[in-house]
Structure 1
C-alpha cells in the first residue's frame, strides 16, 4: 500500500486527524491553536491532496482502515476523526487498539446505531442516492444532502460538484460494522461529538457514545463541521489532556 500524505505541524504528543468527505483544510478549521501543545498529523485520505488515488477509483472505508493502521502503528496517536473518516478509524481501533491513545469521533454515518429512527433511515436514503447516483441524483435530494453536509457552494458548480464526484461510487457507509464491543473492551478513552444541527446525527452519536461508554459533547454553531464550533477546540484540548494522562505509555 502506498503511504498517505500527512501534513505535520506543532510540537508535543501526536494527534492524527482523519477527515471524511471534505479535505483536511475544510474539516479542521478552528483547531489551529492545538499546535501549541500537540503535534498535529493531518492525514489526507486517498484521492485528497497528494495521497494515492482510491483503489478501484472509489472511496472505501476498508481500504482506509488498512492505510490508517500503518499511520497509527507508526505514531500511536490520539485520533480525531470526522464523518466517513470515522468508519476506517473504528475498524483499526477494534483490530489494533494498542495503536491509538484515544478516539474523538465526530458525526459518523453509522446508521445501524439508530436503525429504528425514521430520520436516520431518511438520512441514509439521501446519502446512498448521492453516493450511487452522483451528480445525476435528484436535484432536490442532492441539494439537501450538500446542505446537511455543510458543503460550500451549494447550488453552484465548483467545490460541491468536485466533492460529489469524489464520493460517487464509494462504498456505502451502511455496510460498515465496526466491532464496537472490542473498542470498548480495550478501554480506549473516547469522546463522541456532534453539532446539534440534525436530529438523525444526534441519534447516531448518542448510540455510539452508549456503545463505547464514551463522553458525549454537543457543540452547536458550525453544522456538520463541528471542529469550527465555538468552544470546541478548548473542549477537545481538555479531553486530549485527560486521555493522555490515562493512556499507558
Structure 2
C-alpha cells in the first residue's frame, strides 16, 4: 500500500499527531505553540487527502495499524492520537512498543474497557449504529450520538456540514467495538501514557478513567472544546509538560 502523507512542522523531538474522524487541521487546532519545542508530524490517515484513499468501503483501524507502524518505526515519535485514530495507534504500538516514546490518548472509542457501564454501552451501540447506517441512521439516534461524542453545533434542523461530512467518512468503517488492543502488553512495556478528555460526556469520562487505570497512565481533563480536546484552554501546556517530563 502507498505510504501515508506526513507533514512536518516545528523543531525538536518528533511528536506524531494521529487524527480521528475529523482531519488534522480541525483536530489539532490549539497545538501551534508546541511547534516551538517539538517537531509535529501531522499524519493524514488513509482516506484524508493527500494520503491515499481507503482500501475498502470505510475507515479501518486494522489498516491504520499497518500504516502507522511504518510511521512509528521511521520516527520513533511521541504519539498523540485522537478518537478513532487511537485504535490503530495502539495496535501499532503493541506490535513494536520500542517505536513509541509515549502515548497521549484523547477520547478514544475503546468501549471494551468500561462496557459494563450502561452509559458507555449505550454510546457504543449508538456509535456502531451510525458507522453502519451513516446518514440514514434514525435522526434522533444520530443526533444523540453526535451530541454525546462532543460534536459542535448540533441542534434541531440540518446537521452542520462538518458533522455530516464526518458521518459520511465514518460510514461502513470497521466498528470500534471490535477493537481489542492488548493493554496489558503496553502497560508491561512501560510506555509513558496520558489519557485526556473534555468533560462534556459522562460516558467518555468513565471510559477514559478506566483506560487510564488499565495503562497506569496520567489522567487529564480539559473542558471547553468538546471532543476536540486539543483546542481546550491550557491543554497544549499540559501536553507539553507531559511530553517533556512524563516521558
Shorter chain as normaliser: what TM range?
over 0.9
Cα RMSD for the two superposed structures: 1.2
**TM-score normalised to the size of structure 2?**
0.96
Residues 28-72 of structure 1 show CA distances to partners (whole Å, capped at 9, x for unaligned) of: 010010000100001010111211111112111010000000000
**TM-score normalised to the size of structure 1?**
0.95
Residues 71-93 of structure 1 show CA distances to partners (whole Å, capped at 9, x for unaligned) of: 00000000000010000111111
Which residue number in structure 1 is paired with residue 169 of structure 2?
A: 166
- Give me the whole-angstrom Cα distance separating, in 2, the residues matched to 1:152 and 1:15: 26
Q: CA deviation at 1:159?
A: 2.1
Of 226, 230, 234 in structure 2, the residue corresponding to residue 227 of structure 1 is 230
Q: CA deviation at 1:153?
A: 5.6
The answer to whether the aligner puts 1:90 opposite 2:90 as a matched pair is: yes
Which residue number in structure 2 is paired with residue 242 of structure 1?
A: 245
Q: How many residues align?
A: 244
- Name structure 2 gaps, 5 residues minimum: none
- Give me the whole-angstrom Cα distance separating, in 2, the residues matched to 1:226 and 1:157: 19
Q: How does 1:1-249 map to 2 (within 5 A)?
A: 1-152=1-152, 154=154, 155-156=158-159, 158-244=161-247
Give 4+ residue runs of structure 1 displaced > 4 Å after superposition: none
Q: CA deviation at 1:17?
A: 0.3
Which deviates more, 160-169 or 150-159?
150-159
- Give me the whole-angstrom Cα distance separating, in 1, the residues matched to 2:120 and 2:92: 25
Q: Quick one: structure 1 residues 226 and 188, their matched pair in 2 at CA, closer, same or farther if it must change by over 3 Å?
A: same
- Give me the whole-angstrom Cα distance separating, in 1, the residues matched to 2:241 and 2:88: 25
- Give me the whole-angstrom Cα distance separating, in 2, the residues matched to 1:172 and 1:218: 26
Residues 192-232 of structure 1 show CA distances to partners (whole Å, capped at 9, x for unaligned) of: 01111111111111111111110011111111111111110
